[in-house]
Amino acid sequence: MVDCVFCRIASHELGSKIVYEDDSIICFHDINPSAPVHILIVPKHHYTDIMELSSDKQAAAEVLGTVMHAIEKVTEITGVDKKGFRIINNCGFNGGQTIPHLHFHLLGGMKLREKLI
Ligand code: 5GP
Ligand code: ZN
């Protein structure tokens, strides 16, 4: 098994501020937030990135379904469903990914700039 910080958070070996969790996904506050609401949506199964997930289309459909469900839950719990939010996935070196375990950033709680980078 890979030594992975998000696997350790998913198994509760490491603590985090959990917003939503079920058998397949865990959502918790980013330790270094970029917005008033910055939640990481993390499928518990270890996929290095979205490209690894997409290599198995059936798994991709299932996992992305759980991500969609988590987005609904987290936006409702945090209240960002009212005014909008942004979902980001960083993939690989050029994408700026620093933790090699598939995750999505949910940012909100303020008016985000329209320019992405
Ligand atoms: P990436 O750059 O891979 O897309 O995003 C990784 C994110 O994970 C960063 O925003 C970083 O602040 C966050 N992060 C890294 N280590 C931890 C941790 O141990 N706990 C939490 N809650 N967030 C972390
Ligand atoms: Zn992992």
CATH code for the domain of 87: 3.30.428.10
Q: Which residue of the set 29, 38, 46, 103 is catalytic?
A: 103
pLDDT grade, residue 1 (50/70/90)?
Answer: low
CB 101 within 8 A of CB 6: yes
Ligand nearest to the CA of residue 48, numbered in listed order? 2
> What pLDDT, on the 0 to 100 scale, is given for residue 108?
98
Q: What is the pLDDT of residues 53-100, one digit of tens each?
A: 999 999 999 999 999 999 999 999 999 999 999 999 999 999 999 999
Count, residues in the chain: 117
* CA 78 / ligand 2 centre spacing (Å): 25
**Separation of alpha carbons 104 and 40, rounded Å:** 6
> What pLDDT, on the 0 to 100 scale, is given for residue 2?
79
30 lines ligand 1 (CB under 6 A): yes
37 in any annotated domain: yes
Does the annotation count 69 as an active-site position? no
| Start-to-end CA span in the chain (Å) | 35
**Separation of alpha carbons 116 and 63, rounded Å:** 25
> What pLDDT, on the 0 to 100 scale, is given for residue 11?
98
DSSP 103: -
73 in any annotated domain: yes
Which pTM was predicted?
0.98
* CA 17 / ligand 1 centre spacing (Å): 12
Rg of the Cα atoms in the chain: 14
26 in any annotated domain: yes
Range of the domain at 31: 5-108
115 in any annotated domain: no
In the predicted model, is pLDDT for residue 36 greater than 70? yes
* CA 26 / ligand 1 centre spacing (Å): 13
**How confident is the prediction for the chain on average, in pLDDT?**
97
